Amino acid sequence: MAWTDSWVWGALALILALLELVLGAGAFVFLALAAAALGGALLALFGATLIWQLAGVGVLAGILVPVSIKRIGHHTSPKAMGYGTTGTGVEQGYHFITEPREFDQTPAIKIKGDTYRVRDRDAPERPIPMGMRVRFDHFEGTTAIVVPDPVTDTLSKTET
């Protein structure tokens, strides 16, 4: 078997697809590049010169990479992330149930997998019991300032 241009492009497409499986972060960039390399393999198979193969791969990559980031990657991202980091106000107004923090058993809430100690916004000296439903208001440093919400409202947004 001789290594023709189409086999080289196909091997490159396979390597890029494997990289998507191993390193992919959800935007499918490597997969888009693999599809562009397959386009180069098709061009080589139909007898295009190396210049036309490179131009075809460049055009396909220029189209497929932005499409994969904006369209496909957007639909596979978790909706709860809200494209903000914890502390930017994305979680403001969400309801949580207080739970004990692992190392010192103080009341805390879990936001996006991170645990934050809680303090009552209206009465900072008042302790908040475990298992109480609270509404997140804002952060002060690494402490989540909350408003106790003992009323059960099934229509409000809740994150666990």
- The pLDDT, as a whole number, for residue 76 is 60
Residue 53: count other Cβ atoms within 10 Å of its Cβ.
Answer: 21
Which one has a higher pLDDT value, 88 or 139? Answer: 139
How many helices (H) and strands (E) are present in the chain, helices listed first? 4, 6
Reported confidence tier of residue 151, pLDDT bands at 50, 70, 90? low
Q: CA angle, 7 as apex, 13 and 29 as ends, to 5°?
A: 10
**Sequence-ordered list of residues with C-beta below 8 angstroms from that of 160, at least 6 positions apart, any chain:** 96, 97, 110
Q: Is the pLDDT of residue 15 over 70?
A: yes
What structural domains and CATH numbers belong to the chain? 5-77 (no CATH), 81-160 (2.40.50.140)
Tell me which of 48 and 158 has the higher pLDDT: 48
**Half-sphere exposure of residue 126: CA atoms within 13 angstroms, side-chain side:** 10
Q: What average pLDDT does this structure show over 83-96?
A: 70
What is the predicted pLDDT for the residue at 94? 86
pLDDT at position 1, please?
62
Structure-block tokens of residue 84: 């903000």
Structure-token pair, residue 30: 């490597």
d(CA 156, CA 80): 15
What mean pLDDT is predicted for residues 130-141?
89
| Dihedral pair phi/psi, residue 147, rounded to 5° | -120, 120
Q: Which residues of 110-133 are buried (b: 16+ CB within 10 A; e: fewer)?
A: bbeeebbbbbbbeeeeeebeeebb
Tokens 């935007």, residue?
27
